[in-house]
Chains A and B, each alone.
Chain A
């Protein structure tokens, strides 16, 4: 009798794993060691700069020299300017709450429970209205803060949320119009979308800020921020419309036929059957578009808005903290990173969820 040999252990020991992945050949080993040394040196320098040698409080400001580590005191001193811009100091709690409201609105609309043609608009309109009321004030003992004074992170978030909330319904409208059976509508919307997509965002924003007031009577031109958000939303909608259109086209013809044969009305065919599938099919691109839009909000600096990037520049622009630009930019980068990384992770989670079952 020959005893059965036990199967080889499937799990590799750490040593074997390292040998297989890093030291398989002599040149693998050389590269592994060089890279390891570089990584350790880099990490060492980074941790030393950012934490160990860092100066945290404003009282020690005179220790901030080139030899010392990061001078985070600048954030303590200028953080409020970066986050709130020129928003009045005593009223900044309003800006904070307004930001939190918009962030929770964004978070809530990420939950599949809210993905219906009724719930999403209610949620967005509610969140957006609360934000504007809080930021603007002028009632219930809250002094009026006009949008010229809005700034910092809350302005960035306002622009992003405004563009998304106005742009998304526009995008759906554009996409449906471009697919219309009436050639006049389909062609003219197609032409309009292609024109908008072929213009740089900067040009469109400049036109909205500077040229539109020359063309429209004062009564209907609104304030500059409003015009810029609407122009940005149209730009966003032109791109998002093409994404939605792709989603509609990837939905099998049979879906529409089944709904039509069942006697479901056109609006129901669109809102219950086609759009939900189109959005599910194109979620990665939609999230990508949201990420791009969030990052592009910094462009409004150029037409005189004091969003987070501009207020960051202002924080180091007055000489007092002029040497701490690296710290301020790192801080700004962290803010962007948190938003963008959050969106990307959310996108990845959705894709897994949809692959496994159903969203």
Chain B
């Protein structure tokens, strides 16, 4: 049995009257790449945002690396230091340079000194092939480059788990592949990854497991082979047909 990175038990989430997540049970083993897909409004983003406490929940249990994700700010803090997140809209800090975007969180979150933080940041920016832009500001580079900087920023904190919330949805089509390429390199490393995406080609290529959500419920889960070639559920069949056409 591999170690469990994320475990979720009977999770319920309400936004006022809207029932966003219904009895979610999920285990992500260490090192697995899990892709969450499904039509919009199905609760994928809400689920992934619950995993690092950006979103609270009504009832149930979430454990990340053995730590209970809940109301305790100290525990949440420990969780967030080991869980990186990349957002749909990049969310780089617009008033800081690319380099400072990657350096400051290291100093503030894990107390690294500036010299070490700069070295680490440059190393990550190099891996993401954006180190040439380190002195620029976020709005001076393309969306694809910004997303790779956001990835470098998260990775320079050396997280054990990476969460991706629709990382390519806000990108122009020609920039999607440059981001997926660097993400693919990550999936080969032994990092635990949870990714919400509509890029089914990417999902098929890198996922160890795919789950499909609809209306706040996990409808079906399985290996990419299973999900693409032999879907059992009607909703999955319908969804696969739509994304393939």
Interface residues in chain A, defined as those with a beta carbon under 8 Å from any beta carbon in chain B = 252, 254-255, 257-265, 268, 272-273, 276-277, 280, 357-359
Contact of B109 among A254, A262, A277, A357 (CB under 8 A): A262
- The reply to whether B52 and A261 contact each other, CB–CB distance below 8 Å, is yes
In whole angstroms, how far apart are the Cα atoms of A280 and B96 in the complex? 12
Which 9 residue pairs across A and B have the least CB separation, nearest first? A258-B91, A263-B109, A254-B91, A263-B80, A261-B85, A268-B108, A262-B105, A263-B81, A264-B108
In whole angstroms, how far apart are the Cα atoms of A272 and B85 in the complex? 19
Q: Does B243 contact A (CB under 8 A)?
A: no
In whole angstroms, how far apart are the Cα atoms of A252 and B88 in the complex? 13
Query: Which residue from chain B places its CB closest to the CB of A265 in the assembled complex?
Result: B108
Interface of B is mostly: mixed
Query: Which residue from chain B places its CB closest to the CB of A358 in the assembled complex?
Result: B137
Name, among B84, B89, B91, the residue most crowded by chain A CB atoms within 10 Å (CB to CB).
B91
The interface residues of chain B lying within 8 Å CB-to-CB of A263 are 77, 80-81, 105, 109-110, 157
Q: Does B228 contact A (CB under 8 A)?
A: no
The interface residues of chain B lying within 8 Å CB-to-CB of A357 are 137
Total B residues in contact with A, Cβ cutoff 8 Å: 25
Q: Given A357-B137, A358-B137: A265 and B95 within 8 A (CB)? A: no
The interface residues of chain B lying within 8 Å CB-to-CB of A262 are 80, 84-85, 105, 109, 153-154, 157
**A69 CB to nearest B CB, Å:** 53
In whole angstroms, how far apart are the Cα atoms of A197 and B187 in the complex? 56
**B18 CB to nearest A CB, Å:** 19
**A259 CB to nearest B CB, Å:** 8
Q: Given A265-B109, A268-B108: A257 and B91 within 8 A (CB)? A: yes
The interface residues of chain A lying within 8 Å CB-to-CB of B87 are 254, 257-258, 261
**B90 CB to nearest A CB, Å:** 8
- The reply to whether A260 and B153 contact each other, CB–CB distance below 8 Å, is no
Q: Does B104 contact A (CB under 8 A)?
A: yes
Interface of A is mostly: helix
The interface residues of chain B lying within 8 Å CB-to-CB of A277 are 93-95
Contact of B80 among A252, A254, A261 (CB under 8 A): A261
In whole angstroms, how far apart are the Cα atoms of A278 and B110 in the complex? 25
Query: Which residue from chain B places its CB closest to the CB of A277 in the assembled complex?
Result: B95
- The reply to whether B95 and A358 contact each other, CB–CB distance below 8 Å, is yes
- The reply to whether B89 and A254 contact each other, CB–CB distance below 8 Å, is yes
**B228 CB to nearest A CB, Å:** 31
Q: Does B54 contact A (CB under 8 A)?
A: yes
The interface residues of chain B lying within 8 Å CB-to-CB of A276 are 95
In whole angstroms, how far apart are the Cα atoms of A280 and B94 in the complex? 11
**A156 CB to nearest B CB, Å:** 34
Count A/B pairs, Cβ under 8 Å.
63
Q: Given A261-B54, A358-B137: A272 and B91 within 8 A (CB)? A: no
In whole angstroms, how far apart are the Cα atoms of A255 and B95 in the complex? 11
In whole angstroms, how far apart are the Cα atoms of A264 and B108 in the complex? 6
The interface residues of chain B lying within 8 Å CB-to-CB of A280 are 95
Inter-chain pairs besides A252-B89, A261-B87, 5 sampled, C-beta below 8 Å: A262-B109, A263-B109, A277-B95, A357-B137, A359-B95
**A12 CB to nearest B CB, Å:** 36
**B136 CB to nearest A CB, Å:** 10
Name, among A254, A261, A358, the residue most crowded by chain B CB atoms within 10 Å (CB to CB).
A261
**B159 CB to nearest A CB, Å:** 9
Query: Which residue from chain A places its CB closest to the CB of B150 in the assembled complex?
Result: A258
In whole angstroms, how far apart are the Cα atoms of A113 and B227 in the complex? 56
Q: Given A262-B154, A263-B157: A255 and B105 within 8 A (CB)? A: no
- The reply to whether A255 and B91 contact each other, CB–CB distance below 8 Å, is yes
Query: Which residue from chain B places its CB closest to the CB of A359 in the assembled complex?
Result: B95
- The reply to whether B80 and A272 contact each other, CB–CB distance below 8 Å, is no
In whole angstroms, how far apart are the Cα atoms of A181 and B106 in the complex? 27
**A225 CB to nearest B CB, Å:** 38
Name, among A258, A260, A357, the residue most crowded by chain B CB atoms within 10 Å (CB to CB).
A258
- The reply to whether A264 and B137 contact each other, CB–CB distance below 8 Å, is no
**A281 CB to nearest B CB, Å:** 10
The interface residues of chain B lying within 8 Å CB-to-CB of A255 are 91, 93
- The reply to whether A272 and B54 contact each other, CB–CB distance below 8 Å, is no
The interface residues of chain B lying within 8 Å CB-to-CB of A254 are 87, 89, 91
Q: Given A262-B80, A262-B157, A277-B94: A272 and B108 within 8 A (CB)? A: yes
Question: Can you identify 16 A-B contacts, CB atoms within 8 angstroms?
Answer: A254-B91, A257-B87, A258-B92, A258-B150, A260-B54, A261-B52, A261-B80, A261-B84, A261-B85, A262-B84, A262-B105, A263-B105, A263-B110, A265-B108, A272-B104, A357-B137
**B99 CB to nearest A CB, Å:** 14
The interface residues of chain A lying within 8 Å CB-to-CB of B93 are 255, 258-259, 273, 277
The interface residues of chain B lying within 8 Å CB-to-CB of A252 are 89, 91
The interface residues of chain A lying within 8 Å CB-to-CB of B150 are 258
Contact code string B44-63 (vs A, CB < 8 Å = 1, else 0): 00000000101000000000
**B101 CB to nearest A CB, Å:** 9
Query: Which residue from chain B places its CB closest to the CB of A276 in the assembled complex?
Result: B95
Query: Which residue from chain A places its CB closest to the CB of B87 in the assembled complex?
Result: A254
**A112 CB to nearest B CB, Å:** 11
**A149 CB to nearest B CB, Å:** 45
